[in-house]
């Protein structure tokens, strides 16, 4: 088994070998598999570029609904590894784990930048077809995912992410305490997207002021918006309110129709061709759809002065593409720096919800972004590199009460029979 193995073949191997759950954990620099038949795969994963001494990768199966459950844990130094669970399909194990490994590292950086006492993790529910489940099957699947999270003994705390909603979190909440983003009626904080968009706009405002000065820096400017979903649409509203014109690319016709109905041509225009979109001359690009869209091809064509958006993992090859943007003189605020309101909004919901706290955090993205841009300018470095250094430093600071607790939790859960 290797990166090219399909998740379906992996599930079949697990079923044939009576393996319902298992793990790959880092011990003494090695990646140890829970089962002998999986050690070759562990040795393989260890060599993948996205595996960066993650503390562990945990998996379970949901045979009733043909799903593979995973939780990637990058770090628990600052606390339990927190990050959303996405429901998605992938052609290969390499694609599936790459997403989990990259996103769990990204969550660790984001939680540290947000000054949250949480480590970084990410969950994935894999299913070959994510669209053909009945409402009952979907509920059952999320309840089973909750049971899987409970089996992890608190090492991972889940949240909403791609293709999941607060109602799904409520189903997860019926079988585990280790979830956030649950609906308000259950004492949660619900959908974080509006706050994510406010944080992203705080970053845009800071970058625009840094570039054009304090007086209405977005008035009369043109912004390219890639993706106008939950986050992107609210970013677009704020851009238009600040006096910018927005040029949108999105693959969802319903989303585009909503824009045509709600905005005039002077406020928002749709660009149909993605290649033409990325080479359109504008002041700002705001990526709010998918990851890896800042790559050799797109950066080569870009004719913008700033890139600030909410999509996770925008840079295909992080440092390389951050440098390319810097070399082109494009200001880049990293996604994990400006889209942190999503996790801030839900991360501490067990302490109750105070809106003023969240509003203050929106403001903090603005002041932190200005500081970051100043620092980057004085060092003639990409803001991405500086932000990474800040995150790395904070990731060394153990939780003030619990210390680096993950390895103890994992030892306990394996002692209690996880992965046997």
CB-closest chain residue to ligand NAD: 229
Strands across the sheet containing 222-226: 268-270, 245-249, 222-226, 284-287, 306-307, 331-332
- Among residues 105, 110, 122, 205, the one annotated as catalytic is 122
Positions 310 through 339 that interact with ligand NAD (CB under 6 A): 310-312, 339
In the complex, the smallest distance separating the C-beta of residue 160 from ligand NAD, rounded to whole angstroms, is 7
Selection from 9, 132, 161, 122 nearest residue 65 by Cα = 132
Q: Which is nearer to ligand NAD, 188 or 227 (CB)?
A: 227
Positions 179 through 238 that interact with ligand NAD (CB under 6 A): 192-193, 196, 226-232
Q: Is residue 177 within 8 Å of residue 319, measured between CB atoms?
A: no
70 scored as a contact of ligand NAD (CB under 6 A) = no
Q: Which is nearer to ligand NAD, 251 or 354 (CB)?
A: 251
Q: CA–CA separation, 156 vs 70, rounded Å?
A: 11
Work out the widest C-alpha separation in the chain, in whole angstroms: 66
Stretch of 117-125, 309-317, 322-330, 407-415 contacting ligand NAD, by CB under 6 A: 309-317
Q: Which is nearer to ligand NAD, 236 or 325 (CB)?
A: 236
Distances in Å between the alpha carbon of 184 and those of 39, 82, 353? 43, 20, 9
The HSE-up count of residue 322 (CA atoms within 13 Å, CB side) is 17
Among 250, 305, 349, 361, contact with ligand NAD (rule: CB under 6 A): 250
Six token digits for residue 374: 């100043």
| # residues contacting ligand NAD (CB under 6 A) | 24
> Is 122 an annotated catalytic residue?
yes
In the complex, the smallest distance separating the C-beta of residue 306 from ligand NAD, rounded to whole angstroms, is 18
349 scored as a contact of ligand NAD (CB under 6 A) = no
In the complex, the smallest distance separating the C-beta of residue 111 from ligand NAD, rounded to whole angstroms, is 12
Q: CA–CA separation, 138 vs 210, rounded Å?
A: 46
Q: Which helix (H) or strand (E) holds 259?
A: helix 253-262
Binding interface with ligand NAD (CB under 6 A)? 162, 192-193, 196, 226-232, 249-252, 255, 288-290, 310-312, 339, 342
């Amino acid at each position: 088994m290797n990166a090219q193995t399909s998740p379906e073949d992996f599930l079949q191997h697990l079923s044939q070998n009576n393996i319902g759950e298992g793990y790959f954990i880092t011990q003494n620099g090695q990646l140890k598999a829970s089962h002998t038949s999986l050690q070759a795969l562990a040795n393989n994963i260890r060599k993948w570029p996205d595996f960066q001494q993650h503390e562990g990768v945990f998996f379970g199966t949901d045979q009733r609904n043909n799903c593979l459950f995973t939780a990637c844990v990058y770090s628990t130094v600052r606390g339990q590894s927190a990050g959303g669970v996405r429901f998605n399909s992938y052609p290969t194990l390499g694609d599936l784990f790459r997403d989990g490994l990259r996103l769990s590292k990204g969550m660790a950086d984001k939680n540290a930048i947000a000054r949250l006492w949480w480590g970084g993790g990410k969950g994935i529910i894999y299913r070959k077809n994510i669209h053909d489940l009945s409402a009952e099957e979907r509920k059952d699947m999320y309840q089973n995912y909750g049971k899987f999270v409970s089996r992890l003994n608190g090492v991972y705390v889940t949240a909403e992410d791609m293709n999941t909603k607060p109602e799904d979190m409520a189903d997860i909440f019926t079988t585990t305490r280790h979830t956030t983003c649950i609906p308000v009626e259950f004492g949660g904080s619900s959908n974080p997207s509006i706050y994510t968009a406010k944080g992203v706009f705080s970053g845009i405002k800071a970058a625009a002021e840094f570039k054009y000065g304090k007086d209405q820096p977005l008035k009369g400017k043109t912004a390219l918006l890639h993706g106008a979903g939950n986050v992107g649409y609210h970013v677009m509203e704020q851009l238009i309110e600040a006096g910018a014109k927005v040029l949108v690319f999105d693959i969802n016709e319903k989303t585009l129709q909503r824009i045509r109905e709600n905005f005039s041509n002077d406020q928002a225009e749709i660009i149909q061709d993605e290649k033409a979109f990325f080479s359109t001359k504008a002041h700002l690009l705001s990526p709010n759809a998918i990851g890896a869209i800042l790559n050799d091809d797109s950066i080569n064509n870009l004719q913008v002065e700033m890139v600030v958006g909410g999509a996770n993992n925008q840079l295909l090859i992080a440092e390389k593409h951050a440098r390319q943007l810097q070399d082109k003189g494009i200001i880049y605020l990293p996604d994990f720096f400006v889209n942190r309101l999503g996790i801030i909004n839900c991360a501490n919901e067990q302490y109750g919800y105070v809106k003023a706290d969240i509003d203050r955090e929106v403001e903090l993205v603005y002041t932190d972004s200005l500081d970051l841009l100043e620092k980057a300018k004085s060092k003639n470095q990409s803001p991405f590199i500086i932000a990474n250094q800040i995150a790395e430093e904070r990731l060394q600071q153990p939780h003030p009460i619990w210390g680096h607790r993950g390895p103890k939790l994992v030892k306990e859960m394996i002692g209690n029979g996880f992965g046997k």
